[in-house]
Structure 1
Amino acid sequence: MKFKLPIMLVTLLLAACTTTGLPQQGGWPAADDVGSFTAAGRLAVKVEEKGSYAHFDWTYQNKVQTINVNTPLGTTVGQLCQDAQGVLAVDGKGRIYQADTAEELSTLLLGFELPVQHLYIWADGKRVAGAPYQLLADGRLQQFGWTINRSVTEENKPRVLQLANDKLSVRLVFDEVDMQPPYSAQNSCAART
């Protein structure tokens, strides 16, 4: 019972957070370019009826995407970074894992594929250009085997991004989004240096 109660509380908390967002407006245009941003919030992953919960800090700038996964107390338990050289993950003990694609790395580390390489596009309310897709009658996007749903704030910033396939679901709830972060000249993952 100790395990089920926190998961139920997290589920209720995340469900309550989704009611404050407005639905995705204007379809899912093809992504020609995605601007820089920083974001912070909470994420939940559900695999075969088992859930996990964490906080995240996310930066996308100069085509470098970095996602820090943190405990609720703020301790970083892992970092995922994607740049022109590929994808790498750094665990809480400083060990580095590398792969050419996010799918390869997530399969290696987690046992299933996560579409990390597309998250920043979908969070921006766009679809991956040049790739097959389908728009559902309720406004959700289907692409790469995922069904994507997005809600936004009144300022049209992402509020909730939810992804689901037949194996798992991922929900990101954005607490902060800055679409014009301070400029950084960094063009590769910091863990590569």
Structure 2
Amino acid sequence: MKWNWRGPLLAACVLMLAACASGGGRKSAPPPLDDPEDVAAAQARQATREAWLRGQPEWGFEARVAVSQAGKGGSGRLDWRQQGAQYTASLSAPVTRQSWRLSAGSDGARLEGLEGGPRQGEDADLLLREATGWDIPVQTLSEWARGLSGQGSPEFGPEGQLQALRQAGWTIRYTEWLPAAGAQPAMPRRIEAERGQARVRLIVDRWDLGAAP
């Protein structure tokens, strides 16, 4: 079966959206660091963290994802695999047994799993939006998921971890982190991104920061 986001199965997906959310209303985030010395120290730690992550060209994660836009939504599981500049994002809905697969790199993007067959384009974000109607920042999701500030404007919480990021009209909030383990730095566990009526929530269940399988 194909996953047609615009089909009648959206009702079931909307029910799943609440389960994927953090439960209840969003908790108020603590005030961001504003002392110049504290901010500088947090920026230095973030730079060290980003350098380590950018040194891992092959990585992946498994997560629960929920998307809502203009009162409609859906949710499922996301398996992301990155190999250098190439990535594959596989999204599946366990209840409906539908799925799609987005592959992209320097040679463009390809979306499979839609009625009518695969679609291709140069821009992954545009391809997904035109095919499904969903506004998901796929092009930068790999950066945001790992907690990389990139070209955005970061804010740091009291513990010195990245708390929020604003980029290209999106506001990304990091509401939970997994602790560092050995050489591996702390990694985001819960992420919320929003722009206008578009919302994306990500709960990472597993990080693979070594060679991609």
TM-score range (shorter-chain normalised) is 0.7 to 0.9
Match of 1:142 among 166, 171, 175: 166
Match of 1:58 among 80, 87, 91: 80
Q: What pairs with 1:65-144 in structure 2 (closer than 5 Å)?
A: 65-72=87-94, 75=97, 77-91=99-113, 95-128=117-150, 131=151, 133-136=152-155, 139-144=163-168
Match of 1:160 among 155, 170, 190: 190
Q: Within 2, Cα distance between the matches of 1:7 and 1:111?
A: 15
Letter in 2 for 1:166: G
Residue deviations 1:43-96, cap 9 Å, x none? 100111222111111111122111101122594510011111011111156821
Where in structure 1 are there 5+ consecutive unaligned residues?
184-193
Is structure 2 residue 209 aligned with structure 1 residue 170? Answer: no
Letter in 2 for 1:146: W
In structure 2, the CA distance between the partners of 1:45 and 1:34, relative to structure 1 (3 Å rule), is farther
TM-score with structure 2 length normalisation? 0.68
In structure 2, the CA distance between the partners of 1:9 and 1:62, relative to structure 1 (3 Å rule), is closer
Aligned length: 175
Deviation at 1:141, TM superposition (A): 0.6
Q: Does the 8 Å contact 1:54/1:72 carry over to 2?
A: yes
User: For 1:114, what is the secondary structure of its paired residue?
Assistant: coil
Q: Within 1, Cα distance between the matches of 2:89 and 2:17?
A: 21
2:6 is matched with which residue? none
Aligned-residue sequence identity (percent) comes to: 22
Match of 2:21 among 10, 14, 18: 14
Where in structure 2 are there 5+ consecutive unaligned residues?
1-9, 34-41, 158-162, 181-185
Q: Does the 8 Å contact 2:20/2:65 carry over to 1?
A: no
Q: What pairs with 1:178-189 in structure 2 (closer than 5 Å)?
A: 178-182=208-212
User: For 2:21, what is the secondary structure of its paired residue?
Assistant: helix
- How big is the alpha-carbon RMSD for the aligned residues of Structure 1 and Structure 2? 3.5
1:39 is matched with which residue? 61
Q: Within 2, Cα distance between the matches of 1:169 and 1:77?
A: 20
Higher Rg of the two aligned structures? 2
Q: Does the 8 Å contact 1:82/1:117 carry over to 2?
A: no
Deviation at 1:165, TM superposition (A): 0.4
